[in-house]
Structure 1
Amino acid sequence: MRTRQPIPSEIWVLVCAAFLIALGYGLVAPILPQFARSFDVGVVLASAIVTVFALVRLIFAPAGGALVAKFGERRIYLIGLFIVAVSSALSGLAPDYWTLMAFRGLGGIGSVMFTVSSMGLLVRLSPPAQRGHTSSLYGTAFLLGNILGPTLGSLLQGFGMRIPFFIYAAAVLVAALVVTVFLRGGAGGRPLEDDARAEKMTLAEALGLPYYRALLLTAFAHGWSNFGVRIALLPLMAASVPAIGEAAAGLALTLFALGNAVTQQATGRLIDQRGRRPFLVLGLAISAAATAPFGWLDTLPWFLVLATLAGVGAAFIAPASQALLADLIGSNRNGGQALSTYSMATDLGSIAGTLLAGTIAQLVGFGWAFAATALVMIAAAMPWFLVKRKTP
């Protein structure tokens, strides 16, 4: 009987840090668009406060990959967390919309630094036979933080919309402390001379793989739907529909995260046992089905049910994507360019989704904006029917 290899302790350190980061982010995400609107701006500009974060991530991603290659994953991870903490605290002090936008942009630089470096650490540290499982553990930690964050945020409503930014900053600093203390030595440190000569996956090599190209399209659609439209438009839709109400936005995001977290308890191991591709297609299909009617069924029960179902779909997409990305790069190669380009695809989707869907919502309504998002998810599923069934 084959014994399952234990999860490395370094993975658990990253999981704990991810939970703390997500807990703080979960406080901020539901109120961010409304906070922007408190400066007397419209839907498009309120959505753009999410977009600028992703835009800066997109622009800085290649530099982030280069910094990881030069200084190592752990160092860049910690610097990125420090920048996010400072940015969050400054956002809570912002006196006007444009200052808030500038501070959110600063946070995007830190965010892409710790995102790319954490992906690199997961690729290096995850046992090949458990890449789906470790990706699910890491993703679940983020989701649990996102579940508890909005709940705690609702208890802080009486203190105003600025307090969550300061709590987010504190949570990120605690996460940085956890990593500093418990993640010392081993993989992810500053590369040595031998590491510099080690084999690297070039971007040209990655783009030559049909699986990688399909992954980029999936990342774009995932970013459009779950990091763009869901964060930027869901709270605005809730606030604009009397039958739903502004307070339901945090609950819907919590149910999305809960559906995702519960489902990921099974998806990680299924992905390891059955392969990546089938679950990527399934996740995109579920996400499209949950998103298409989202803006039309404007009653509170449907609003909450569809948000939960969308979380179930996302639970297949994220771990399967990250496991396949690790398969393509391998544990002993530097995949900085491939990782940063994958991150860029997600951020490009977030930007496009926020701006285009936000414009559609402002011109013809939220129903059409969410329907367009569903079409993007369906389009991203098509390439998976064209690639070979056996992963390279």
Structure 2
Amino acid sequence: MPVSRRTERYIRLPGLQRPGREAQTPLPRDIKVLVAAAFVIALGYGLVAPVLPQFAASFDVGVAAASVIVSVFALARLVFAPVGGALVGSWGERRVYLTGLLIVAASTGACAMAQDYWQLLIFRGLGGLGSTMFTVSAMALILRLAPPNGRGRVSSLYAGTFLMGGILGPVVGGLLAGFGLRMPFVVYAVALLVAAAVVAVLLKKPAPRTADDGPAPVAMDLREALSDPGYRAAVVSAFANGWATFGVRMALIPLFAAAVLGAGPATAGLALAVFAVGNAMALTFSGRLADNVGRRPLVVAGLTVAGLAIAAIGFIDSVPAFVAASVIAGFGSGLLGPAQQAAVGDIIGNDRTGGKVLAVFQMGTDAGAIIGPVLAGMLADRLNYAWAFGVTGAVMLASALLWLVFGRETLMKPVKETAAD
């Protein structure tokens, strides 16, 4: 007579993996191709970043109008993200990725030939549309191709490569500016064409499906993703990270250095550079750690460390402390990024596509990068920088609390069941 007994086991959801030290799965070649392309893309983006406001100002416009040229790129990414996600589901990641690269290449080349401010504004906005296409499709490819026990490692590698390109780009761009403000745009357009050609040749085309392959992968429904507390927490933390890391850091750090510390652009540049150094330090191990101990601990730790460091900046009155806080904030951001992205990949899984799901996740970052500097800037104007950086840090800490209380660990799902022998 069979005897019932209670057993406990881990149900492995699609793409999920139990934490623990496991043998690392070799990375597919396609991921290496995408990582190499990411370096070229980031390098090129860094080429135009230092000269873009100056190029806009050369058309006899004010500081505000020159700043709009920078923000229109992020605004276009935010508005077009849902369409980009839908295209990934209908066209496939590879086609959307290549199309996005070519659009950005064409728009960047057009920027180099712009004859007035409004042409430059339109061309830069079109670049944001293409950027959304290749960003969402690249994220979808990376997460789908990565082995489940290596999503954190792959996300860390991709982010680190992008970071290195972003660090080297402004250096090269500054040198190219000596040949004219249009030259960096020309070089970036050519670099994007090279990256597109490399990806087109080396990134494998999806093999035609046969009856033996079973049903084609289906797209994850956005409503299903939004019903998952881990996904909701990831979107909120992406917003907080965009607010602080991509928004307030870039917009307010130079102003704070000049207004409060009495320092020049060199000190502000140093703070941005050491943020990248701290970020790179964390990326050397954060991805592997997220694959071993889980996503949520790394996300919570990263949000907490970065939030406290950024909040502290508003109360600092010396350059050494300012630089130290920037390093710590960068380190926290490096802990957060790979684990957060891997968590979204866990939720989607390897057997589904997630264009719309990833687009909304990306929209969280872009929305934070747009809203954060505006609100923080208003606080700095009406109150002081302590309020601006303090509220920014509070947004990150609130996101960490949300993950801690309501978010879930996506790397494993322990359940109990009754089995009969």
Residue matched to 2:252: 233
Q: Which of 301, 309, 324 pairs up with 2:328?
A: 309
Task: Map 1:272-311 to 2 at 5 A.
Answer: 272-297=291-316, 299-311=318-330
Change (3 A) 1:54 1:332: same
Change (3 A) 1:206 1:110: same
Question: Using the alignment, how far apart are the partners of 2:101 and 2:189 within structure 1?
Answer: 9
Deviations 1:318-361 (A, max 9, x none): 10111101100000112122111111111111111132223334
Question: Using the alignment, how far apart are the partners of 2:41 and 2:124 within structure 1?
Answer: 16
Residue matched to 2:368: 349
Question: Using the alignment, how far apart are the partners of 1:27 and 1:11 within structure 2?
Answer: 24
Q: Which runs of 5+ in 1 are unaligned?
A: none
8 Å contact kept, 2:33–2:203: yes
Residue matched to 1:100: 120
Deviations 1:36-80 (A, max 9, x none): 5564424x5554433322221111111111111111111111111
Residue matched to 1:336: 355
8 Å contact kept, 2:303–2:400: yes
8 Å contact kept, 1:22–1:145: yes
Task: Map 1:144-223 to 2 at 5 A.
Answer: 144-156=164-176, 158-159=178-179, 161-186=181-206, 198-223=217-242
Question: Using the alignment, how far apart are the partners of 2:297 and 2:214 within structure 1?
Answer: 35
Shift of 1:380: 1.3
Residue matched to 1:109: 129
Question: Using the alignment, how far apart are the partners of 1:297 and 1:17 within structure 2?
Answer: 39
Q: Secondary structure at the match of 1:7?
A: coil
Kindly indicate which of the two structures has a greater share of residues assigned to strand. 2
Change (3 A) 1:213 1:3: closer
8 Å contact kept, 1:71–1:190: no
Q: Secondary structure at the match of 2:219?
A: coil
Q: Which runs of 5+ in 2 are unaligned?
A: 1-20, 414-421
Question: Using the alignment, how far apart are the partners of 2:298 and 2:184 within structure 1?
Answer: 35
Residue matched to 2:31: 11
Q: Which of 64, 73, 80 pairs up with 1:60?
A: 80
Question: Using the alignment, how far apart are the partners of 1:288 and 1:127 within structure 2?
Answer: 31
Residue matched to 1:41: 62
Shift of 1:202: 0.6
Shift of 1:316: 1.3
> In the alignment, residue 233 of structure 2 is paired with which amino acid?
A
Question: Using the alignment, how far apart are the partners of 1:81 and 1:259 within structure 2?
Answer: 29
Change (3 A) 1:33 1:233: farther
- More displaced stretch, 79-88 vs 217-226: 79-88
Deviations 1:122-173 (A, max 9, x none): 1210000000000001011101111212232344454454433333222222
> In the alignment, residue 375 of structure 1 is paired with which amino acid?
A
Superposed CA RMSD in Å reads 2.8
Change (3 A) 1:179 1:228: same
Change (3 A) 1:208 1:125: same
> In the alignment, residue 245 of structure 1 is paired with which amino acid?
G
- Matched pairs, number: 389
8 Å contact kept, 2:51–2:177: no
Question: Using the alignment, how far apart are the partners of 2:246 and 2:74 within structure 1?
Answer: 9
Question: Using the alignment, how far apart are the partners of 2:183 and 2:253 within structure 1?
Answer: 22
Deviations 1:186-229 (A, max 9, x none): 48x9999x898533311110111111111110010111112222
> In the alignment, residue 147 of structure 1 is paired with which amino acid?
I
Shift of 1:109: 0.1
Deviations 1:220-249 (A, max 9, x none): 011111222223333455566784322444
- More displaced stretch, 243-252 vs 254-263: 243-252
- More displaced stretch, 169-178 vs 54-63: 169-178
Kindly indicate which of the two structures has a greater share of residues assigned to helix. 1
Q: Which of 265, 274, 294 pairs up with 2:284?
A: 265
* Residue 126 (str. 1) matches residue 138 (str. 2): no
> In the alignment, residue 170 of structure 2 is paired with which amino acid?
P
Deviations 1:85-121 (A, max 9, x none): 2222333444554443322211110010001100110
* Residue 138 (str. 1) matches residue 158 (str. 2): yes
> In the alignment, residue 288 of structure 1 is paired with which amino acid?
G
Residue matched to 2:377: 358
Shift of 1:378: 1.5
Change (3 A) 1:24 1:251: farther
Change (3 A) 1:249 1:310: same
Q: Give the number of the structure whose alpha-carbon radius of gyration is greater.
A: 2
Residue matched to 2:339: 320
Percent identity over the alignment? Answer: 52
8 Å contact kept, 1:47–1:358: no
8 Å contact kept, 1:75–1:190: no
